[in-house]
């Protein structure tokens, strides 16, 4: 076994394509040079289709959480009220950011593994007519749930003048997103998921409705002040030092994505989701999310005591150099999560399923070797 061959099947960071790694190895250039400015402006423009927007997309040197914080601090002031749709760990993160800035966070919570439905949101907003923003997570990484953003946006537009701000960190670039058509006001994402880059870049787009609020809001932010990014982008630059090498890589990523085409990318991720779910069912492992709300980028699985999830994960790493994720918060040690996004294809899914089966056998768990692989193969063959 090659010890340097680490196989990541976690929900991020995800594997980096070799040609992207090569692109990031280009010689450094001045971040205020005309050559870099042209590259930066063109790259930002090329991000628009993945957001489904005609608005500018801002590139921030920071993690996805920096863009989440940006969505809060630029639109709300201390004492403002917001509705936070919490279906897992990352919905709760939005609430914590709001509270750090003195925003009153009204949580609409559902059990982990369930989605926030339009009906629940409709009833909630009727009780909270004063909220100025609604925050939601598109793909809740901690549970493998994909919330119905288009339908939630429709409810908000009918019920409220509140802004709709969406965390799409763990799915944008792998799922449909029609920010303008759906009526979403801010969408944020990060570089280390479906965009196949190292951690270090965040992307954000804002609607005209959002900008009308941002321009009037006295932001508490300095580095995360969106108005500064808007002003700088007009000059094809950033207000603060950008991560130049990551921009080189992003330009190459966009080449790769454009070569495949967004419709094909979405179908590939849906296929990998369906293969993974079929395999888990064949192995009698409970899936946390129901089919209607199953994320296309990560699958969360609950052994329900049939075997030790952590022991299986450790065997997977020890024997096969494959990493999958564990549970978070109260699910730590109880579940496991398989990432299938970005630089990942159906044959990679067969690999991780086969290795999971063998790891289960090695820890003494009841498993029918080949059952999960066969189920996934059948899904793949039907697709081909």
Predicted confidence band at 363 (pLDDT cuts at 50, 70, 90)? very high
165: which residues sit within 8 A by CB, 6+ positions away?
71, 72, 75, 133, 134, 135, 136, 184, 185, 186, 188, 210
Helix, strand, or coil (residue 135):
strand
- The answer to whether residue 1 scores a pLDDT higher than 80 is no
46 is in an annotated binding site: no
pLDDT in the model for residue 3: 78
- The answer to whether residue 270 scores a pLDDT higher than 80 is yes
pLDDT in the model for residue 354: 98
- The answer to whether residue 126 scores a pLDDT higher than 80 is yes
pLDDT in the model for residue 5: 85
Tens digit of pLDDT for each residue in 3-44?
A: 788 999 999 999 999 999 999 999 999 999 999 999 999 999
Task: Give the pLDDT mean for 247-254.
Answer: 98
Spell out the domain ranges in the chain: 7-13+261-383, 18-258
7-13+261-383 and 18-258 share one fold: no
- Beta-sheet strands, E only, within the chain: 7-8, 57-61, 81-86, 104-109, 133-137, 139-140, 145-146, 163-167, 186-190, 201-206, 286-287, 298-302, 322-323, 325-326, 336-339
Pairing of strands 104-109, 81-86: parallel
Tens digit of pLDDT for each residue in 106-115?
A: 999 999 999 9
State the CB neighbour count (10 A cutoff) for residue 209: 15
Predicted confidence band at 336 (pLDDT cuts at 50, 70, 90)? very high
**Is CATH 3.40.50.1100 correct for 18-258?**
no
Torsional class of 332: left (φ above 0), alpha (ψ -120 to 50), beta (otherwise): beta
Share of the chain above pLDDT 90, in %: 97
**Is CATH 3.40.50.1000 correct for 7-13+261-383?**
no
How is residue 123 written in tokens? Answer: 């009833």
pLDDT in the model for residue 219: 84
Task: Give the pLDDT mean for 284-312.
Answer: 97
Predicted confidence band at 214 (pLDDT cuts at 50, 70, 90)? very high
93: which residues sit within 8 A by CB, 6+ positions away?
65, 68
Predicted confidence band at 170 (pLDDT cuts at 50, 70, 90)? very high
pLDDT in the model for residue 130: 96
Tens digit of pLDDT for each residue in 61-97?
A: 999 999 999 999 999 999 999 999 999 998 999 999 9
How is residue 31 written in tokens? Answer: 């971040």
Predicted confidence band at 119 (pLDDT cuts at 50, 70, 90)? very high
Q: Write down the mean pLDDT value for the chain.
A: 97
Task: Give the pLDDT mean for 187-205.
Answer: 98
CA distances from residue 219 to 57, 184, 226 in whole angstroms, order as listed:
19, 21, 9
């Amino acid at each position: 076994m090659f010890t340097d061959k680490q196989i990541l099947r976690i929900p991020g960071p995800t594997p980096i394509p070799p040609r992207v790694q090569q692109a990031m190895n280009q010689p450094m250039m001045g971040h205020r040079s005309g050559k870099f400015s042209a590259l930066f402006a063109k790259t930002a423009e090329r991000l628009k289709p993945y957001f489904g927007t005609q608005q500018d997309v801002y590139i921030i040197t920071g993690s996805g959480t920096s863009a989440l914080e940006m969505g809060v601090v630029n639109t709300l002031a201390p004492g403002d009220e917001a509705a936070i749709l919490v279906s897992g760990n990352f919905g709760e993160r939005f609430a914590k950011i709001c509270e750090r800035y003195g925003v009153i966070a009204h949580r609409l919570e559902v059990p982990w593994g369930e989605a926030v439905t339009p009906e629940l949101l409709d009833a909630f907003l009727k009780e909270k007519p004063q909220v100025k923003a609604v925050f939601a997570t598109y793909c809740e990484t901690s549970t493998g749930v994909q919330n119905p953003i288009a339908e939630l946006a429709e409810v908000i537009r009918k019920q409220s003048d509140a802004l709709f701000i969406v965390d799409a960190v763990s799915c944008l670039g792998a799922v449909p997103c029609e920010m303008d058509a759906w009526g979403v006001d801010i969408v944020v994402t990060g570089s280390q998921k479906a965009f196949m880059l190292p951690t270090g870049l965040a992307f954000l787009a804002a609607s005209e409705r959002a900008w009308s609020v941002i321009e009037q809001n006295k932001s508490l932010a300095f580095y995360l002040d969106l108005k500064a990014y808007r002003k700088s982008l007009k000059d094809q630059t950033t207000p603060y030092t950008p991560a130049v090498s990551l921009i080189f890589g992003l330009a190459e990523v966009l080449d790769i994505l454009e070569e495949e085409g967004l419709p094909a990318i979405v179908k590939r991720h849906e296929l990998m989701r369906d293969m993974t779910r079929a395999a888990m069912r064949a192995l009698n492992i409970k899936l946390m999310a129901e089919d209607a709300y199953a994320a296309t980028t990560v699958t969360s699985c609950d052994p329900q005591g049939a075997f030790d999830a952590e022991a299986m994960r450790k065997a997977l790493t020890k024997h096969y150099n494959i990493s999958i994720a564990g549970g978070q918060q109260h699910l730590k040690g109880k579940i496991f999560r398989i990432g299938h996004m970005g630089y990942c294809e159906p044959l990679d899914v067969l690999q991780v399923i086969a290795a999971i089966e063998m790891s289960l056998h090695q820890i003494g768990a009841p498993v029918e070797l080949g059952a999960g692989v066969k189920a996934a193969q059948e899904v793949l063959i039907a697709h081909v």
